Chain A
């Protein structure tokens, strides 16, 4: 395939991944790597390198929009980034030592899990706030967020050690597979630490960029980031996700989510089969 054709196709595919990722709130990274490996026959190491770069771009590009809403907590984010960055470095090291077949299968499993999470999230129940850990105030993690009527709802943070450990896992997954692993980050905050859902999702977006930056250095040293591939992927995903964020208000998200979930499911099965056959 010629450079121009390849670049255009990869740009278009990345644009679509970014668009769907933003519209469904699942992020583009999770379909990007299977798209590059399964459709474009890119080696998974180049694919996760390019994907990780696009993850930094989208999370930083969307940051200003998230800040405006006033839900994110800079303290919770910074505190948990201690866990995600160390996890990300461990993940990146593991990625350089793991056979690519194992990486491919693991990616497939993560895709199946994402599809399942997405299915669950479409009927997400807002759980009642927990009592909060005594350390919530001591570590200054307690906070408040505004409602539509303008009043402030305060919250406390629970099970900090469990959340910290889960965040380490989210970081490892991010560094290992070149994804944002936003779903696991939200899980750690929302389910484990009992942080309100809106605070969890917006804070997660902030953390994704810093987490990805921790493994990006190692990917660069290992030669995983190919400029010719990273350039259409990064710009495509970024453009797609920015457009997706603008369309979000008008789009019929529920139908899109079902379609996207099915796509993820299919890609997950495909990657697991490919990994077993050793054809990637």
Chain B
């Protein structure tokens, strides 16, 4: 951290160090939450498919219902275990994105315009990739 940003953070009471600690915790909580959902979905999935055979040697692609969040939500309401796993996966993907959102806020608190812009750029790229569908 250089002198300029150090003085900025002293003024707002928010430092890069504190930001990183909060981010670390944010990421851990996100992973814990996502893993719990995936584990619950996984157990239900195993119970529903115990006797079935499995083969991943040919690629078919996942059904359309699992590729869009809206369709996924309907499956989830119907109690589909596969949809529950997929929801956990989405939570997991959302975790680093939440980290970037937090960085935007934290840099704004530090009054660091340059890094607010940098974080917003990263966020825009992430959201574009997530909501792009073709």
Contacts and interface: CB of A to CB of B under 8 A. Distances in A.
Interface residues of B, number: 70
A89 B129 contact: yes
B82 A210 contact: no
Given A89-B129, A221-B133, A64 B95 contact: no
Contacts of A57: 31, 34-35, 92
A206 B20 CA distance: 10
B56 A4 contact: no
Contacts of B50: 2-4
A82 interface: yes
A86 B125 contact: yes
A65 to B, nearest CB: 8
A128 to B, nearest CB: 21
Given A140-B112, A222-B61, A223-B66, A66 B24 contact: yes
For A86, A142, A226, which residue has the most chain B Cβ atoms within 10 angstroms?
Answer: A226
Contact of A210 (B52, B61, B122, B132): B122
A113 interface: no
Contacts of B93: 53, 56, 213, 216-217, 220
B23 interface: yes
Contacts of B17: 70
Tell me whether chain B's interface is mostly helix, strand or loop, or mixed.
helix
Contacts of A2: 50-54
Nearest to B51: A2
Interface in A53-101: 53, 56-57, 59-61, 63-68, 70, 72-75, 78-79, 81-82, 85-86, 88-89, 92, 100
A141 B134 CA distance: 37
Given A6-B54, A223-B67, A234-B35, A209 B96 contact: yes
Contacts of B4: 140
A74 B20 contact: yes
A213 B126 CA distance: 7
Interface in A18-74: 40-43, 45-46, 53, 56-57, 59-61, 63-68, 70, 72-74
B122 A82 contact: yes
A67 to B, nearest CB: 3
B119 A223 contact: no
A279 B43 CA distance: 33
A226 B130 contact: no
B115 interface: yes
Interface of B: 1-2, 4-5, 16-17, 19-21, 23-25, 27-28, 30-31, 34-35, 38-39, 41-42, 45-46, 49-63, 66-67, 82, 85-86, 89-90, 92-93, 95-97, 99-100, 103, 112, 114-115, 118-119, 121-122, 125-126, 128-134
Interface of A: 1-4, 6-7, 40-43, 45-46, 53, 56-57, 59-61, 63-68, 70, 72-75, 78-79, 81-82, 85-86, 88-89, 92, 100, 137, 139-140, 142-144, 206, 209-210, 212-218, 220-232, 234-235, 238
23 contacts: A2-B53, A4-B50, A41-B57, A46-B59, A57-B35, A60-B96, A64-B24, A64-B28, A67-B20, A74-B20, A82-B121, A85-B125, A89-B125, A216-B129, A217-B132, A223-B63, A225-B86, A226-B56, A227-B45, A231-B45, A234-B35, A235-B42, A238-B35
